[in-house]
C-alpha cells in the first residue's frame, strides 16, 4: 500500500515532516558508517555504510503506523 508523500514522524527527540518520494533510499536511524580495511598505501578510504539503503516507504512501514501522523 503506497503511503502519501507528506507524513509527520514523531520517533526521536524532535518531530519533523517529510515530503519526499517513497522510492528515495535511506539507512535506518541506528545505521553507522564503518571504516574500510586500510592496505597501508595512499590515503585511507572514508567510512561507508555496509548495508544497502532501504526505500523510505519500507522504513516508514517498518516503523509502524503509530509512529506516523498525517501532516496535512
> What are the residue ranges spanned by the domains of the chain?
6-70
Residue 16: strand, helix, or coil: strand
Mean pLDDT of the chain: 76
How much is the pTM? 0.54
> What is the spatial distance between Cα 39 and Cα 21, in angstroms, rounded to a whole number?
39
Question: What is the rounded average pLDDT of the residues 47-60?
Answer: 87
CA dist list (Å): 31 to 39, 43, 47: 25, 25, 12
DSSP 21: -
pLDDT mean over 6-19: 58
Residue-wise pLDDT for 30-42, tens only, equals 888 998 888 888 8
Strand partners, 17: 8
Cα distance between residue 25 and residue 19, in whole Å: 14
Q: Grid coordinates representing 4?
A: 502519501
Amino acid at each position: 500500500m503506497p503511503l502519501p508523500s507528506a507524513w509527520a514522524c514523531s520517533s526521536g527527540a524532535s518531530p519533523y515532516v517529510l515530503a519526499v518520494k517513497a522510492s528515495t533510499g535511506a539507512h535506518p536511524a541506528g545505521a553507522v558508517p564503518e571504516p574500510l580495511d586500510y592496505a597501508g598505501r595512499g590515503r585511507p578510504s572514508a567510512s561507508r555504510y555496509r548495508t544497502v539503503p532501504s526505500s523510505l516507504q519500507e522504513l516508514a512501514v517498518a516503523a509502524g503506523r503509530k509512529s506516523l501522523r498525517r501532516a496535512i
